[in-house]
Structure 1
Amino acid sequence: MGDVLSIGASIRSARKDAGITQEDLAHLAGVSVRTVRAIETGTGNPSLHAVVAVSDVLGLRLTAR
């Protein structure tokens, strides 16, 4: 669960640093606002595809351990 929360926190921080709203990020990534919220808070069960799409918009790279 720690990894999920860490990824969400990184995405939220990058989004805020970029000065965009959850709504803007959702639109740019092609996902719902609810999905962005779920990713940032580590709740729900967003798909890996959604997490990658959101990360790509923000220029973040996901790596496996």
Structure 2
Amino acid sequence: MFCEHERVYEDNLEDILKINKNKAIFYLTELLPFQMVGKYHDENGTSWMLKQEGRRYLVSNKLI
């Protein structure tokens, strides 16, 4: 279950970080159907999660 702020990208991870202008802290956690590939904090202090399925990335601020 994701919050209303989730976004799905079909770009690569570098493009996602460039869009958000933040540096990610990477770690691996298995989450189906997406695999967690990173976490970062935006300029407003919101924590965002990066999840990958193939080349699609789900960007969400859902807390886990």
Task: Give the TM-score category using the shorter length.
Answer: 0.3 to 0.5
- In terms of fraction of residues, the more helix-rich structure is 1
Structure-1-length-normalised TM-score:
0.33
- In terms of fraction of residues, the more strand-rich structure is 2
